[in-house]
Structure 1
Amino acid sequence: ETAYRDLEDLRDKLQQAREKFFKFGIYVTIYGDSIEDLDKIETSLRSVLDAKLVYSKAALYQQDSGFKSTLPLVNDELAINTAMNSSPIAATFPFVSSDLTSDSGILYGINRHNNSLILFDRFSLENANTVIFGKSGGGKSYAAKLEILRSLMFGTEVVVIDPENEYQYLAETIGGAFIKISLTSENHINPFDMPPAQEGEDPADILRSNIINIVGLLRLMFGGLTPEEDAIVDGAVTQTYASRDTTPTMADLKIILDSMAGAESLSRRLEKYVTGSYAGFLNNATNVEIKNKLVVFSIRNMDEELRPVAMYIILHFIWNLVRSELKKRILMVDEAWILMKNDDGASFMFGIAKRARKYFLGITTITQDVNDFLVSSYGKPILTNSSLQFLFKQSPTNIDTIQKTFNLTDEEKFLLLESDVGEGLFFAGSKHVAIKVIASYTEDQIITSDPAQLLQIEQAKKELEHAEAVTP
């Protein structure tokens, strides 16, 4: 009776064109370096199929016909098939799309499904934002640096926030700027800086926006504010701007707080940023200029406690630059979870991601802590506002979250667990494919993060310099 109902249901779907009928067969050609290797692979394949209750049979005495049938010639010489409707056939295709490319852009990698090139211009999509997720050592930074190198060839300017100096060698090799931001650094950024008003912009709106951003920064610095403290800080920042004809600093804000009733605690907390151990970080005029096609901001030498603050200030500085001068730019934020752990930092980053398209900017958000990123109330909105998405090798603790967030099949889930370095899934809009990131030898020498490889390169450079020095 159940089989009869299933048959009637299938008949109805065929009549309503909700299903189609096909003659379907699967042929698999196995490759190996030896007979023993072939036997081992065949046994493993049979075990997998048997576990799924799929009967398999070797094409004995028909190997030639079987091999020709699996070539891309659309010629079935075996003609071994069974009648099947489209729904179960669809289950044999684990990837939504087998081809993903455009007529322009840069090469992101090779489609592992059919070896086609994955070419894309991120600025031709709905927005130019990208997210890159993957465990440590999975190839996230390698892929990001390869995109930087290839984007620069097309005239795109790139700014990077680098928590671990992974982009230093790249910047130095191609003549980019590498700017260190730390408590003892000579490079300073004043958070009170404002971008010049552009045509059609109201200076009052720019000031109001900057006040909101500075209040968010102070919440980050102080570890949060009560509603009363928030109101006091908002008024103090407004008065600080009004009290100076030039751009104020944190010292000017402290003077205002000292004069306000009920602001004693806030003034004491700000003191370490003005005259205390953190004074060299925030309380100076900006002396950083961006005049290079590639600029890398390093915060590796910054205390862990101050890293989110440093990332916030650098983002604010870059955002002011982006708004003041319209250019094709990419902003890469590596280890974005550092900033995303705090609501004010996450909110600020989401605000930039949402508005980036208007200013010809594409933001690349890179993180290995997927759970920390997505648990933020702004994590999924940033993901939604990113047209390109990379998923590299994932850890078992993150894979279920990844599968649910990206609606992955079980085959794609296992692919991410077993991927080699530089392999994963590439999403563009509603389509996605399995990708392998491939660099040329020269590109690899420039973008590698492998410590052993970097030591070899450094040793080779020293030997070359020594040889040139002794050659008459």
Structure 2
Amino acid sequence: MFGLERIRRRLRREQPGIQGSPLEIGGRSIIDHIAPSGLFLELDYFHFSTTEYGRVWFVEDWPERLGLTYLHDIYSFPGNLRVSIFVRPLDPRLVLQSVKRELTQLRAQRLSGQQEGKIPDYGVIATERSTEEVLRKLQEERAPILLVSFYVCLFARSLDELNKASRQLEELFLDAGVRAHRAMAKQEAGIISMLPLGVNLLNQARNMDSHALGAMFPFVSSDYLAPRGHFMGINRANGTLVTMDIFEEENTNLITVGNMGSGKSMFLKYQVEQAVITGTRCMVIDLEGEFRPLCMDLGGTYLELSTAAEHKMNVLDINPEDRDPLTEGYYDFLGWLEVALRERRGEPSLSAREKNLVDTTYKEAMAGAGVQQEDPSTWRTPPPTLSTWYQVLRERGTPDADELAERIARYAVGLLAEAFDCQTNVTIDSSLVVFDLKDVPDELKPVRVRQIQSFIWSNVLREMRPTLVIVDEAWWLLQDLETARDLSAMARRFRKRYAGLWLSTQHAEDFARNTDAEFIRDTASVVLLFAQNPSAIPLLEGRFALSGAETRELVVLHPGEALLLTRHHRIPLYIAVPKERYPLYTTKPQEVIAFREGGGESK
């Protein structure tokens, strides 16, 4: 054990000028009050108390080539890690003489072997080439040669935790080809070398040029600041603000993946609010009814789509702004029928003969309502409803028509007619529209979602305006082939329509359920990974090319922390939301009840 006094004496020996500093014997300063009372030194670690342990390493040698990924892994190691770097320039004349002498020896060794007929030693040849390159840089570029000391100190709350983290760090060194050693019996010197005093007591150094040194500095967490973008969060590596203009990205699609309660919905709600305030239109498919408080607060349009809801959408609607409204409307209606009449997921619900029947009866129903394909003046005429098309089938009187009418009867004239046999009474005048599917039976959700997607397409195509389509808990839609296909079409075509698709789900495998889900994942220009279960790490690591440090961090992230991935940036993010808006964002039942009872929920 030794106290602050031994550090004083050590520093006085190394730096005599420190005599007049506040560390002088007998002086009491703030340093004396905040410093630990003592330090316990062991062979290869130290500790201040039973809950404060540490260990120091020094790097003896670096590989000839070290990728930035490995450096990033070291600097981003998921633990309380400190790095200390000492740099001392060497006399260029002495270095030049030494390099010339070494190059001469290497060439002589190679030529001697050739004269004796020996097999070439490729290790010597490689060393000769690298030495020759160093000599060229010294003479042509006048690149300085530096003596660099690189020390690492790891802190933990217990010896077991320190040993476990040490093994992980040493495995990382090994993978990177870095030759690092614990400072055996030199932990005291290591501690002082880690302090911001400019005192290098370990004196373990390796020479390198300025280019290699420049790549070693831990400024690897790049800033991301778009002047006209939305606030995404705070960079956990350097504390800077991260703002992004999604419409300036390669495409406008974004996906978030994370455990339940990790902060995905909180992030989406904050982004929705910023988008609405800045004039971007948002359409939210809300499977759980979580966006109602925010929608009401922002004056948005909240559409409840249960079977008895007052909001109605006609499945035979057409968009008069389309180049060919009846043809586009036919395919929308056919897609809805495919979902509504499907008996087993993944199996076709309409035969080729039935599709031909839908074609002819669709045109007949439209003509009966006064909508003519060749007359644009009729395209704004109210289209027929589902019961009208049902009657056209009945009037055909053929076995195929009767069978198709029987299959659609429950939607057209049965118990579900109130929800599906209707004219549209929904208009989009606000910047925020939320489609609430919370009270829709699971059996009918794909049918409703198909309606919503057709409705969104019509409104996105009708007006060129910045638009975000957001789906929270998207796993439900991705597992269904038809809805996944529609989402994939949005992901493909939205960029040219000034729109973006944002999806959120709990499991990475949701984006591997089918080819359309994979397309959405692979084309998203922005990915946010929140806290993950260890079992999900191998899939994420392969899908998003995560480094070892990134994968280790994902399993220990706290709520509101995430990893932001773009084409050119990888940023550890903390999503900070305004405190006064928190009651509108939270979905924790106990918090929702508390805010309601305390009057905290907005109207």
Interval containing the TM-score (normalised by the shorter chain): 0.7 to 0.9
Query: Equivalences for 1:19-58 in 2 at 5 Å?
Result: 26-28=150-152, 37=157, 42-50=162-170, 54-57=180-183
Q: Does 1:102 align with 2:222?
A: no
Max radius of gyration: which structure?
2
Q: Is the 1:391–1:425 contact (alpha carbons within 8 Å) kept by the matching residues of 2?
A: yes
Count residues in correspondence. 448
Q: Does 1:359 align with 2:497?
A: yes
What per-residue deviation string (whole Å, max 9, x for no partner) do you get for residues 266-287 of structure 1?
2211111112222222111111
- Cα deviation, residue 118, structure 1: 1.3
Closer, same or farther in 2 for the Cα pair 1:66/1:463, shift >3 Å? closer
1:67 counterpart letter in structure 2: L
Q: Is the 1:159–1:331 contact (alpha carbons within 8 Å) kept by the matching residues of 2?
A: yes
2: distance between equivalents of 1:373 and 1:438? 27
Query: Equivalences for 1:122-271 in 2 at 5 Å?
Result: 122-197=246-321, 202=323, 205-223=324-342, 224-245=349-370, 246-260=382-396, 261=398, 262-271=400-409
1:219 counterpart letter in structure 2: E
Closer, same or farther in 2 for the Cα pair 1:273/1:29, shift >3 Å? same
Q: Does 1:66 align with 2:194?
A: yes
2: distance between equivalents of 1:365 and 1:319? 17
2:513 corresponds to: 375
Q: Is the 2:262–2:558 contact (alpha carbons within 8 Å) kept by the matching residues of 1?
A: yes
- Cα deviation, residue 165, structure 1: 0.9
- Cα deviation, residue 76, structure 1: 8.4
2:393 counterpart letter in structure 1: L
Partner secondary structure for residue 181 of structure 2: coil
1:447 corresponds to: 585
2: distance between equivalents of 1:94 and 1:270? 65
Partner secondary structure for residue 519 of structure 2: helix
Partner secondary structure for residue 503 of structure 2: strand
CA RMSD of aligned residues (A): 3.6
Query: Alignment partner for residue 428 of structure 1, among 535, 553, 566?
Result: 566
Q: Which moved more, 1:50-59 or 1:169-178?
A: 50-59
- Cα deviation, residue 91, structure 1: 12
Q: Which moved more, 1:37-46 or 1:147-156?
A: 37-46
Partner secondary structure for residue 196 of structure 2: helix
- Cα deviation, residue 239, structure 1: 3.3
2:188 counterpart letter in structure 1: L
1:329 corresponds to: 467
Query: Equivalences for 1:262-281 in 2 at 5 Å?
Result: 262-281=400-419
1:470 corresponds to: none
Q: Which moved more, 1:228-237 or 1:426-435?
A: 228-237
Q: Is the 1:334–1:367 contact (alpha carbons within 8 Å) kept by the matching residues of 2?
A: yes
2: distance between equivalents of 1:276 and 1:130? 40
Q: Is the 2:584–2:601 contact (alpha carbons within 8 Å) kept by the matching residues of 1?
A: no
The TM-score, its normalising length taken from structure 1, stands at 0.83
Q: Is the 2:583–2:601 contact (alpha carbons within 8 Å) kept by the matching residues of 1?
A: no
The runs of 5 or more residues in structure 2 that have no matched partner are 1-120, 135-142, 175-179, 343-348, 371-381
- Tell me the percent identity: 27
2:336 counterpart letter in structure 1: L
- Cα deviation, residue 410, structure 1: 2.5
1: distance between equivalents of 2:263 and 2:283? 20
- Cα deviation, residue 464, structure 1: 13
Q: Is the 2:339–2:482 contact (alpha carbons within 8 Å) kept by the matching residues of 1?
A: yes
Closer, same or farther in 2 for the Cα pair 1:91/1:407, shift >3 Å? farther
Partner secondary structure for residue 564 of structure 2: strand
Q: Is the 2:318–2:328 contact (alpha carbons within 8 Å) kept by the matching residues of 1?
A: no
1:48 counterpart letter in structure 2: Q
- Cα deviation, residue 384, structure 1: 3.4
What per-residue deviation string (whole Å, max 9, x for no partner) do you get for residues 280-327 of structure 1?
221111111222222211000000011122112112112211211222
1: distance between equivalents of 2:218 and 2:543? 17
Partner secondary structure for residue 263 of structure 1: helix
Closer, same or farther in 2 for the Cα pair 1:116/1:9, shift >3 Å? farther
Partner secondary structure for residue 299 of structure 2: coil
- Cα deviation, residue 386, structure 1: 2.3
Q: Is the 1:169–1:446 contact (alpha carbons within 8 Å) kept by the matching residues of 2?
A: yes
1:468 corresponds to: none
Q: Does 1:458 align with 2:583?
A: no
